Amino acid sequence: MLIPLKLVRDQPLQQQLYEQLRDLIVSGRLAHGTRMPSTRMLADQFAVSRITVLLTYERLAAERYLTTVRAKGTFVSQVTAAPATPPAERGSLTEDGADAWAGRPDARLFPAGRWRALMRTALDHLGARLNADHTDGDPALRRAIARWLSSSRGLLVEQDQIILSAGRQHALHIVAHMLLRPGVQVAIEQPCDPRSERLITSTGATVIRVPVDHAGVQTDLLPDSPVAMILVTPEHQRPLGAVMSQQRRQALLAWTERSGATVVADDIDGELRYDAMDATPLMGLDPLGRVIHLGGFALSLGPGVHLGYLAVPRQMIAAARAAGRLMDDHSGQLEAAALAELLDSGGYARHLHQLRKSYLGRRDRMVEALRRRFGAATDIGGASAGLHLVWRPDPDLGHASTVAVLARRHGLDAAPLGDATILLGFGVPDEHHIETSVGGLAHALAAANQRLPPIPAISLGFSRTAARGALR
């Protein structure tokens, strides 16, 4: 099969190949179901390297223009028009079109022995627990979470202000049921977690996107009209990793008085903090009771522990409890009992201390490897908390989706964000594999682009303290 393309030698070949193939698919000249030539055949046709074609195919597959079927070949997907949403507003996609996110916790770091003992103890007292009134969730766990928020985040909340949930998304469902109705306005960060945005739009609310920069949500761009709710991630912006400045926090709270909005502060990533993060949580700065604090244990204990929570202002307790009862029967009593004991005994604080040390080592190794392989000036940020950092590689290396696909092929937890940004998770691979994987990615990109400078020898004297300072 011969494809009608025309490549100009004094311009980037991979970008030309991508754009022309994409235009042929979108226009319908390459129809749905058409089998594409092999990478070797197309490379021979246009006298380019095979890896240039391979990376182009992978980018088109990542953006759902092509579909690869094992042992059969690569085919044109059913695409009828170019995406209407600007790249900065699109969610990241994996090859199968699912939302991509980098930053998975390492299941091997779960305190399995301690958890097993706590679950056995909970089983021994199961009868008494089943007979107790847990209409609004396990009171021991709600009390333990209130104490933990006081000691770890400086939030003075009582047991009855804690609303239990089955994780972050369920907590957002509770908030949406409380606050949102069709037609009301909701402000969200741009970019944001696409699952959160879809949940909000499913209520019929009108979404207003507010851009984020290095200091968090840009409060000077908040709408002047009445707003029912604003969802923010002040401790580690999802996905860009910014920490909201103190000035922006005060400006946001002042805006709520004018707009009537309730602030939902998502602090899921805040459990894993590595650098100096002494900013007071929004709920601790709020004198008017307009802030809901959302937290959970998915990063610190892993997604297998399906427990999260909301800390709500006192005047919202009744509404939050009613919404919680509507959506959940609080059946996970064994898990709740185990977590309550882990928090109260100090076991969770000890586990979190060890966890932070492990992930900090991996974060520093990731930063160290990226700077060594791609230059000291390579743009890295968002690494003060959570399990992913934000990497903006040199544009000459290729489109973010192409680089992310190649990174995953070399064992990295990577996801593209827009055209030029990549989320790199450092939670799952150990330090040795991070070094090996980043090195493999650098060699592959050098071969594909032939533009990287020679890769210097590994310096065994690299200071991790310097790496941490460079991120601040």
In this predicted model, what pLDDT tens digit does every residue of 146-197 receive, in sequence order?
999 999 999 999 999 999 998 889 999 999 999 999 999 999 999 999 999 9
Task: Look at residue 330 in the predicted model and tell me its pLDDT.
Answer: 59
Task: Look at residue 267 in the predicted model and tell me its pLDDT.
Answer: 93
Rg of the chain (C-alpha set): 24
**Domain 351-471 classification at class level:** alpha beta
Q: What percent of the chain has pLDDT over 90?
A: 56
pLDDT, tens digit (0-9, with 9 covering 90-100), for 323-355: 988 877 555 688 999 999 999 999 999 999 999
Task: Look at residue 57 in the predicted model and tell me its pLDDT.
Answer: 86
What is the rounded average pLDDT for all residues in the chain? Answer: 85
Task: Look at residue 454 in the predicted model and tell me its pLDDT.
Answer: 47
Hey, what amino acid is at 37? P
pLDDT, tens digit (0-9, with 9 covering 90-100), for 252-291: 999 999 999 999 999 988 889 897 767 889 999 999 999 9
Task: Look at residue 461 in the predicted model and tell me its pLDDT.
Answer: 36
Task: Look at residue 60 in the predicted model and tell me its pLDDT.
Answer: 85
Task: Look at residue 28 in the predicted model and tell me its pLDDT.
Answer: 78
Residues in the chain: 472
| pLDDT(11) > 70 | yes
What is the C-alpha separation between 313 and 462, in angstroms, rounded? 48
Is 89 in contact with 189 (CB distance < 8 Å)? no
What is the C-alpha separation between 281 and 273, in angstroms, rounded? 13
Predicted confidence band of residue 466 (pLDDT cuts 50, 70, 90): very low
Q: Dihedrals φ, ψ of 234, to 5°?
A: -75, -25
Predicted confidence band of residue 56 (pLDDT cuts 50, 70, 90): confident
| pLDDT(304) > 60 | yes
Predicted confidence band of residue 84 (pLDDT cuts 50, 70, 90): very low
| pLDDT(242) > 50 | yes
Domain 125-345 has CATH 3.40.1190.20: no
Between residues 370 and 18, which one has the greater pLDDT?
370
Q: Where are the domains of the chain?
A: 13-84, 125-345, 351-471
Map tokens 């977690």 to a residue. 193
| pLDDT(229) > 90 | yes
| pLDDT(453) > 50 | no
Task: Look at residue 331 in the predicted model and tell me its pLDDT.
Answer: 56
Is 393 in contact with 444 (CB distance < 8 Å)? no
Predicted confidence band of residue 79 (pLDDT cuts 50, 70, 90): low
Is 59 in contact with 405 (CB distance < 8 Å)? yes
CATH code for residues 13-84? 1.10.10.10
Hey, what amino acid is at 302? G
Is 164 in contact with 137 (CB distance < 8 Å)? yes
Task: Look at residue 334 in the predicted model and tell me its pLDDT.
Answer: 87
